[in-house]
């Protein structure tokens, strides 16, 4: 029997259908609410609102579950790669060997930027934030391919591969620009993540030392960030896509949403916290005591998660990579020592355990990126590179949905009621 919900308002009862997801979650369909009652819902932050039906990612925050297209994140992190997972997210299934080879070839063919785009990079000041450059250059790149707008469905695989490939090229170029370094072009012989590190850190006549543990760790960071259901940036991509904007414009909007410190800036906030603790001459013990003291305004960054009420499943995976990278690099870094101290105390302190304040993916990914030499202002850019397949998959889902309509939320107006215009000389 189909389950329904009843809503009664002013003595009038409206029967609302329900939608049941493949994992059993239930949504109440309120599409007829306004026409049936004259009312709308109010849900600031959309914490209780399902904006769409999607077959891409499943999250159970209570149980700490994250699955891409039905595959558990731990299994993908152990056995897959970022590029294979990107294909899975976009096209729905793991690729066959020929499909993966074709996809990889398309990435290689499209990794170079149009040479004229170098002039765009030169227009930014040296102080420009890499996220500002990334969003602007993704939009600029679209102008070199007018078929983004015409024949978009026919050319989608090409544009998807081009965006995934070029986002890392743009990111690496922006890093080199900010530090006054000559541009390093991609190498066709290197795989995706190794190629990015090559563009970031190689010098003229001298290639970067691409340690396998470092490449694998960054590839895992990209994979773990590849999608995360209807978060702020993904919802932004879907909303822009609903207007039938092109893929690059929609992704550029996603970058802008991700830039916010409450979203993509979380791993950067972790390192800023660690730096503050170090500057105060603390090993982390005093800081955690202050966090537990309600009279202070100290906040513990990189612990807990809005969605996960248990351990962030991505944190368990990235912690292992973090330990391997630190062991391989043999680095002596006071901030990393403080991070280890915070982790040790928080995982054994009843205050943090009872509040489910476990280290999340941002805590460990920030530590890894610092260890391998990625600058702090590039942390959110790393997030954007990883999240690109998820944005593309959601864009594709919007475009292929025959019932898709332009997103247009309502509001509850709280301003003045009707007023009459008063000439300026008569105003008090």
Tell me the catalytic residues.
305, 362
Bridge partner residues of 66 (DSSP): 59
| 156 and 396 Cβ atoms separated by less than 8 Å | yes
- The angle that helices 232-242 and 247-258 make with each other, rounded to 10 degrees, is 150
Q: Where are the alpha helices (DSSP H) in 92-151?
A: 97-109, 117-122, 130-142
Bridge partner residues of 13 (DSSP): 8
Residue of 179, 180, 374, 352 whose CA lies nearest to 271: 374
The kind and range of the H/E element at 25 are none
- Say how far apart CA 145 and CA 114 lie, in whole Å: 10
- Say how far apart CA 409 and CA 46 lie, in whole Å: 11
- Say how far apart CA 208 and CA 199 lie, in whole Å: 9
- Say how far apart CA 370 and CA 332 lie, in whole Å: 12
Q: What six digits make up the tokens of 242?
A: 């609903």
Q: What six digits make up the tokens of 297?
A: 């305004």
SS3 at position 137? helix
**Strands in 65-189 per DSSP E:** 65-68, 71-72
Tokens 């260890």 belong to residue = 371
Residue of 300, 274, 302, 271 whose CA lies nearest to 376: 271
- Say how far apart CA 365 and CA 382 lie, in whole Å: 10
Q: What six digits make up the tokens of 108?
A: 């290689």
How many residues appear in the chain?
Answer: 428
């Amino acid at each position: 029997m189909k389950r329904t919900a009843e809503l009664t308002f002013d003595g009038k009862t409206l029967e609302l259908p329900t939608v049941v997801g493949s994992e059993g979650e239930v949504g109440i369909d309120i599409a007829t609410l306004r026409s049936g009652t004259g009312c709308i819902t109010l849900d600031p932050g959309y914490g209780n609102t399902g904006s769409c039906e999607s077959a891409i990612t499943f999250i159970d925050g209570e149980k700490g579950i994250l699955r891409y297209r039905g595959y558990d994140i731990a299994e993908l992190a152990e056995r897959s790669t970022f590029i294979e997972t990107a294909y899975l997210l976009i096209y729905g299934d793991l690729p066959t060997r020929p499909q993966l080879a074709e996809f990889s070839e398309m990435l290689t063919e499209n990794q170079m930027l149009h040479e004229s785009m170098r002039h765009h990079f030169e227009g930014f000041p040296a102080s420009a934030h890499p996220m500002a450059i990334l969003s602007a250059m993704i939009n600029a790149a679209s102008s070199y391919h007018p078929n983004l707008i015409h024949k978009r469905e026919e050319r989608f695989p090409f544009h998807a591969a081009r965006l995934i490939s070029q986002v890392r090229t743009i990111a690496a170029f922006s890093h080199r620009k900010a530090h006054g370094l000559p541009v390093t072009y991609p190498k066709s012989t290197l795989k995706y993540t190794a190629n990015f590190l090559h563009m970031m850190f190689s010098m003229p006549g001298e290639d970067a030392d691409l340690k396998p543990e470092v490449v694998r760790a960054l590839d895992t960071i990209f994979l773990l960030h590849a999608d995360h259901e209807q978060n702020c940036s993904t919802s932004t991509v879907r909303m822009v896509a609903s207007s039938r904007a092109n893929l690059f414009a929609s992704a550029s909007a996603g970058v802008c949403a991700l830039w916010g410190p409450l979203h993509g800036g979380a791993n950067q906030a972790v390192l800023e916290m660690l730096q503050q603790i170090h500057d105060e001459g603390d090993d982390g013990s005093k800081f955690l005591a202050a966090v537990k003291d309600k009279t202070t305004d100290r906040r513990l960054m990189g612990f807990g998660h809005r969605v996960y009420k248990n351990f962030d499943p991505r944190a368990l995976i990235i912690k292992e990579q973090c330990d391997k990278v630190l062991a391989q690099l043999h680095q002596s870094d006071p901030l990393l020592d403080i991070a280890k101290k915070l982790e040790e105390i928080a995982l054994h302190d009843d205050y943090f355990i009872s509040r489910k304040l476990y280290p999340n993916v941002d805590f460990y990914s920030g530590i890894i990126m610092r260890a391998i030499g990625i600058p702090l202002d590039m942390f959110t850019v790393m997030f954007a590179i990883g999240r690109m397949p998820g944005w593309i998959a959601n864009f594709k889902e919007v475009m292929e949905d025959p019932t898709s309509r332009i997103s247009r939320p309502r509001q509850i107006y709280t301003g003045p009621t009707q007023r009459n215009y008063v000439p300026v000389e008569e105003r008090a």
